[in-house]
Amino acid sequence: MEREGLTVYRDSMTERDGTTYFLAATDEGDQLLGVKGDDAGFEGERQDGVLFCPLTHENAAVVRDRLDWLRPVCLGLETSFGFGDRLGLATPGHVRAVQQFRGVAPIFAQQSVRENARTGRTPQQVLDDATWGAFQAGWRGPLGADADHLKTPEAMDAFISAGYTFYTIDPGDHVDDEAHTAALAALQVKVDALPWRMLETSRADLEQRYLNHPLDLGDFAITFDRDTLYRAAAKYGRAIAHTARMYRYLVEQMGDEPFELEVSVDETETPTSPQEHTFIANALKRLGVRWVSLAPRYIGRFEKGVDYIGDLQQFEAELSKHAAIAHAFGPYKLSVHSGSDKFSIYPIIAEHTDGLVHVKTAGTSYLEALRAMAQVAPDFFREILMLARERYETDRATYHVSAELDKVPPSELLDNADLADLLDQFDARQVLHVTFGSVLDRFGDRLLSTLEAHEEIYARLLERHLQRHLSPFAQGLRLV
């Protein structure tokens, strides 16, 4: 297998049905797939009995066909964890982290439409990058692929074509946050204007279904009066109708291909109460929607790149109710978006969900890439920080963040040894987090090439950082 100028990734060495597969790096920093044996379908150049193939989409598709554990599948109700990768280089580190534990199923290809637009990547590129990264690091278990935060039916098409298995519907644009505090008279007007035909019910049926019919969940009961019912219907009625439309489109397009659905109302201004969660789940179930996980808007603040902000006792009290509702109407998993770095609430979530949980992370892996830059290319990191400070007020617009720019020191005031410490500081983390699109626009090729030259450092940082995220949800260390 050896070739001059080529270094084989030992963890990638795989033998199946008499054919050996491996990934290798050239001295110039490129990567190649090696195939010794049956190489039908692959495109490459043969040397000394080995076909060396570029990491193209076409070759990735054949690898997924040959090594079927690299093909995305449905993960069901297993505890699961989404590893967003904005750069396409993080999967080896993600694999190394999740390989340490039992009982956590990974999604290595997870990217939202918004993030793809900012990174300039396609759903197919995201999936292929995850395939090569998982292969490089020797992953052998099931994995999923998440088409994240889909807002329109048309947005699904590229993910369906690429072979994704997990579809996150985001009907947040159809949630009426004004209903959270509106007076009853205003709520009545909003309820009357709901798309009742799409909801396949009426206001009278709604009242008959919910009023004076408490839902007994053991330790507590969910009850509705007219105010609570109208508030839930006005706030989420259009979002429910939109979700059903999206689901039916997905069913039609997927045909016989299996898929899983997540419903997400987390990116809204107001929390989802237990009554509202009940209303959403009951309505979706009545409309024939089948889902594996649901992300309410929890109380408190789930800001990007930092720990949970809020009252932990209040969060636990509410979460326990959400978990009971998910069990009663499913069971299905509670999903936690903006889930990275929420270390204070991981034990609470793990305890009350009893494994029925999905956690999503994305930007935290990008921040570890910047930590690597602070270590290996401090002058480059200073340029990134300077640009992030310039772009923060503009780029923060679509994110829930509260960082104050004047609390992030300019790079010229910092010694090289202090640069990495910014990645542990609240305001700096958020400023660096939400400006990734601007950084990639200006420095993308330079950032990627620097990371590729120091891939072991990046993988090691990711492994350490993501282990902290995974350990509260795992069933224990994996015996190797």
Which residues carry out catalysis? 148, 262
Residue with the two structure tokens 């990008």: 366
CA–CA distance, 224 with 244 (Å, rounded to integer): 23
- Give burial (CB, 10 Å; 0-12/13-18/19+) of 467: middle
Helix (H, G, I), strand (E, B) or coil at 52: strand
Residue 205 near residue 140, CB atoms below 8 Å = no
- Give burial (CB, 10 Å; 0-12/13-18/19+) of 447: buried
Residue with the two structure tokens 């090691």: 460
CA–CA distance, 295 with 322 (Å, rounded to integer): 10
CA–CA distance, 229 with 389 (Å, rounded to integer): 45
Looking only at the bridges linking them, the beta strands covering 19-26 and 6-8 are antiparallel
Secondary structure letter of residue 282 according to DSSP: H
Residue with the two structure tokens 């439409």: 113
Distance (Å) of CA 205 to CA 75, 199, 201:
36, 11, 6
Secondary structure letter of residue 413 according to DSSP: G
Residue 208 near residue 202, CB atoms below 8 Å = no
436-453 vs 455-470: helix axis angle to the nearest 10?
A: 120
- Look up residue 349 and give its two tokens: 């979530």
CA–CA distance, 362 with 305 (Å, rounded to integer): 9
CA–CA distance, 226 with 211 (Å, rounded to integer): 7
Residue with the two structure tokens 């979706």: 284
- Look up residue 99 and give its two tokens: 């390989």
